Amino acid sequence: MASPPAATSRGAFDLIGRRRWWYALSLAVIVPGLLALYLHHVRDHHALNWGVDFTGGNSLELRITQPFSVGDVRAVLSRFQLEDAIIQRSGDTEVFIRTRPLTQNQSNAIIAAVTARFPGTAMLRQDTVGPEIGAELRNIAIFGLAVGLILQIVFISFRFHSIRFAIAADVALLHDLLVVIGAFALSQREVNSSFLAVLLTVAGYSINDTIVIFDRIRENLGLRTREPFEHLVNRSVLEALVRSINTAMTAVLAIGAVYVFGGETIRDVAFGLVVAITTGGYSSIFNASPILVDWHHWSERRRGGGQVPRPARAVQPAPGLPAEPAAGPGVDPSRPAPAVASGERHIGMVPADPGAPGGGGRRRRGGRRRR
């Protein structure tokens, strides 16, 4: 059972002590995305809305000089049983059409039908991607991402001389990838080759922000203070918190402007980047460092027989009474301490010899100097 957050020094916010709340928030974001992936896979046999780059098909880019709507273009494509084609409008004159794999004669027939409906139509680009190439591209992307994760574990372990930092950073990165994939599954945005750029951005930004915080933790550990590890990590995160928030907000505002004022073709990429940077900044603060603390507590429990060592508290003696000597090796804590005569100066007790009769301590010679 998680213990209540402990008070940190100087009234600082105990962010690490509330780590169970951050874990719950992450699950609340990830679980709906995983459910959307499962439901789309059961219903459509496609967990994500794979684009032409992965499934194979044809892509047409046309310029229509007359006023038109997406519904008008879809009505033309319905003659060829292509009602499910992806149609995206860019500006006032350009339109992108993505369909299932078509022959050259079918592509020419579609272009002719659109030209007959909207005279003056011009074809700007036509691409064809086979299903084999799309599957190969998807497999290469998954393999490259897995290799990148392994190399990150090796480098971070070497850099910080501990595999704990590497595993915590990669768990936070896995959190970010699941959030981005879940966002695309919930919104049913098209997943094409630019989606790989979004995933690489997630990996780069999340690891960079996590390393900055971990480096601050390592610097504070090098000071060799007697501060408990949990409090040290909390102080390190708070020291780097403002920098992380400012960096993330600057990038989100810039990409948000691209999402609002950019064209339709770049909107999906901007959406993915906004989600990626937001979750990357969140996981570096609220996931990676708390995982490091939990791993430390688990390791201490293993070495300490199930108890996490707590910092000792100094017991203040009552006013007017001498300090109670600390129980050293060989001293029976249940035995009452020998009385100190009034007028004697209490210097302290030397740990007793275990073989001495009675097991009591011997008092150092001292006392007041007689003049």
Domain boundaries, given as residue ranges, for the chain: 17-46+133-304, 57-129
Q: What fold does the segment set 57-129 form as a domain?
A: Alpha-Beta Plaits (3.30.70)
Instruction: Determine the pLDDT at residue 134.
Output: 64
Q: What is the pTM of this model?
A: 0.68
Instruction: Determine the pLDDT at residue 197.
Output: 84
- Longest Cα–Cα distance in the chain: 123
Instruction: Determine the pLDDT at residue 128.
Output: 77
17-46+133-304 falls under which CATH superfamily? Multidrug efflux transporter AcrB transmembrane domain (1.20.1640.10)
Rg (CA), the chain: 33
Segment 48-76, tens digit of pLDDT: 887 777 777 888 888 888 888 888 888 88
Instruction: Determine the pLDDT at residue 302.
Output: 83
Instruction: Determine the pLDDT at residue 306.
Output: 56
Rounded average pLDDT over 314-321 = 47
List Cα–Cα distances, 50 to 85, 107, 189, in angstroms. Answer: 12, 21, 9
At 211, list the tokens: 């390393």
Confidence of residue 99 (pLDDT cuts 50, 70, 90): confident
User: Mean pLDDT of all residues in the chain?
Assistant: 77
Most confidently modeled range among 10-19, 326-335, 361-370: 10-19
